[in-house]
Structure 1
Amino acid sequence: MGKINECLKWVFIFFNFLFLIFGCVMIYLAVGFTVVAFQTSAFGGPGVGWLWVIAICFFGISSLGIYAACSEKSLFLNIFAGFIGVGMIIMLILGIVTAVSRNTVKNQFEKNAKEIADIVMKNNISRAGLDNMQQQFQCCGVISADDWGTKIPKSCECVEGSSGKPTCKSKPVGTTGPDKIYAKGCMDTIFSVIDADFKVSLGIFFGFGITALMGLLISLLMSHQVKRHDGMGGLCIG
């Protein structure tokens, strides 16, 4: 038998192999995005440097983990543990920063609701987007129907008893449009779209952080097994 528990060793190699494949996929995507970024660089296209860094880190650290487990050398296991520990800290920091940013954005939405509504209503593209959103999400205006001024669009029309059981109200006095309109504004819906991106990011950062913690603990355990084996003069362990 080897220096490391065989079951533990192969579980460790399996998960590192999965992340190695993930790293290869990210490198493939990075190549594609780099070509696109190069073609659109004259128009101020986004950079892909961080994507390359993340892809290479996944590929390199996973490769190191596989080699460290196969070689059963404490030095390489400790180096892997160091890298994965740094990665875990970075993921947790990014997760905390994202969570704080999410709360900040939410507070700004609530604090500057009127200013946001004015910006949306002054832009033809965002007005059209709001118009399309209203019927689907059963809301009217950013804050309320007052955002539309005296002309309320057909998409604000509310039919009592329809699916979703929307809350309806009469249109404001002095306005044209449907007699019954949705009572709530679309602010919560607009924020929920942005908030979905924050939640996905939080899941990724904390998910990888927990995975990195497990990898760190397993690599340290295997390093301990190697050191114990070598300290006992080469006596095999189970």
Structure 2
Amino acid sequence: MMETCSSNFIKYVLFLFNLIFAISGLGLIIAGGVVYANVGEFSHFMEGRILAPPIVLIVAGSIIFIIAFLGCYGAIKESYYLLIAFALCLLLILIVELAVGIAAAVFKNDFETVMKDTLKSSMDKYLSNKADRMAWDHIQTELECCGIERADDWPKGQRPYSCCHALNPDDTPPDFNQCQNAQNVDPILYSTGCLEKLKMKTSSNASILIGVGIGIAFIEVIGIVLACWLATAIKKKE
């Protein structure tokens, strides 16, 4: 009698947990989507390894949302095999998330070098390639930056007009020649390099991914424990 009450309690707890788990899967999809939208507009300068974590979270969130229903069905039907399959799916997702997290941590040390090389390569093609030209004009206008580390990174006579801005909203914007002849410290030039702005942007989004990832990993561990516990109770009852 006590074992039956215990297994029923675990069953309904697991069912409730999976409803929460399905919602957390949606949370992962939303978080991954927001981060990808935030940095994806600068994908021209982003390596695949930088854009991979939010994509993995979107995929993982979609899978979690689907397998949450597997857990609910397995709990209600008291199916030993469905519950074990549910626990294994959760374990697999947890391993993938840990692998992505470790890879991101390792890549963090090389991030600045890789990003700098990408920016330099794209800068060299500014005049000859329309995609690079549009990407540079967009990032410098959007992030209010100029060059890789400073405005003088641009070759003489090739500094884009997107590096310059009016000192005040009511002022007349500088003309093209003023922009070309401005010195690195001239106030009409954006003073921060685009590398620094990209680092700040990716760092803030990485904090979001890390926080969400840790929270979901904790929920996954609880799900694995509950599923195995209920599966064991069902096996004993059989």
- Structures share a fold, TM > 0.5? yes
The amino acid that maps onto 2:218 is I
Shift of 1:215: 0.6
* 8 A Cα contact 1:78 1:219, kept in partner: yes
Distance 1:109 1:56, change over 3 A: closer
State how 1:69-218 maps to structure 2 within 5 Å: 69-110=75-116, 114-120=120-126, 122-146=128-152, 147=154, 149-150=156-157, 152=159, 153=161, 155-157=163-165, 159=167, 175-177=180-182, 179-180=186-187, 181-193=189-201, 206-218=214-226
> CA 1:131–1:148 in structure 2 vs 1: closer, same or farther (change >3 Å)?
farther
For residues 109 and 55 of structure 1, what CA distance do their matches in structure 2 show? 28
Distance 2:215 2:209 in 1: 10
Percent identical among aligned pairs is 24
Local SS of the residue matching 1:183? coil
Gaps of 5+ in 1: 27-49, 164-173, 232-238
Is the 1:113–1:143 contact (alpha carbons within 8 Å) kept by the matching residues of 2? no
Partner residue, 1:47: none
Which residue matches 2:228?
A: 220
Aligned-residue offset at 1:216: 0.5
Residues 177-198 of structure 1 show CA distances to partners (whole Å, capped at 9, x for unaligned) of 5853233211222345556676
Task: Give the TM-score normalised by the residue count of structure 1.
Answer: 0.56
One-letter identity of the residue aligned with 1:13: F
Report the CA distance shift for 1:191/1:227 in structure 2 as closer, same or farther (over 3 A): same
CA distance, structure 1, for counterparts of residue 88 and residue 138 of structure 2: 51
Structure 1, 54-63 or 139-148: larger mean CA deviation? 54-63
Q: How far apart, CA to CA, are the structure 1 residues paired with 2:65 and 2:117? A: 44
| Cα distance change on mapping 1:110 and 1:142 into 2, 3 Å | closer
Q: Structure 2: give runs of 5+ residues left out of the alignment.
A: 30-55, 170-178
SS in 2 for 1:85: helix
For the residues of structure 2 that align with 1:191 and 1:128, how far apart are their CA atoms? 20
| Residues paired across the two proteins, number | 192
Aligned to 1:35: none
Q: Note the aligned Cα RMSD (angstroms).
A: 4.4
Partner of residue 74 from structure 2, selected from 56, 68, 72: 68
Contact 1:91 1:206 in 2 (8 A): no
Determine if contact 1:92/1:206 at 8 Å carries over to the other structure.
no
Letter in structure 2 aligned against 1:15: F
Residue 14 of structure 1 corresponds to which residue in structure 2? 16
The 8 Å contact of residues 21 and 219 in structure 2, kept in 1 or not, is answered as no
> Matches of 1:144 and 1:126 in 2, distance apart?
18
- Cα contact 1:68–1:77 (8 A) shared by 2: yes
Q: Alpha carbons of 1:86 and 1:3: their partners in 2 closer, same or farther (altered >3 Å)?
A: farther
**TM-score, L = length of structure 2:** 0.56
Whichever residue aligns with residue 72 of structure 1, its letter is E
Kept in 2: contact 1:134–1:140 (CA 8 A): yes
Between the aligned partners of 2:14 and 2:132, the Cα distance in structure 1 is: 50
Q: 1:104 to 1:201 in 2, by over 3 A?
A: farther
Contact 1:140 1:186 in 2 (8 A): yes
Q: Return the index of the structure with the highest Cα Rg.
A: 1
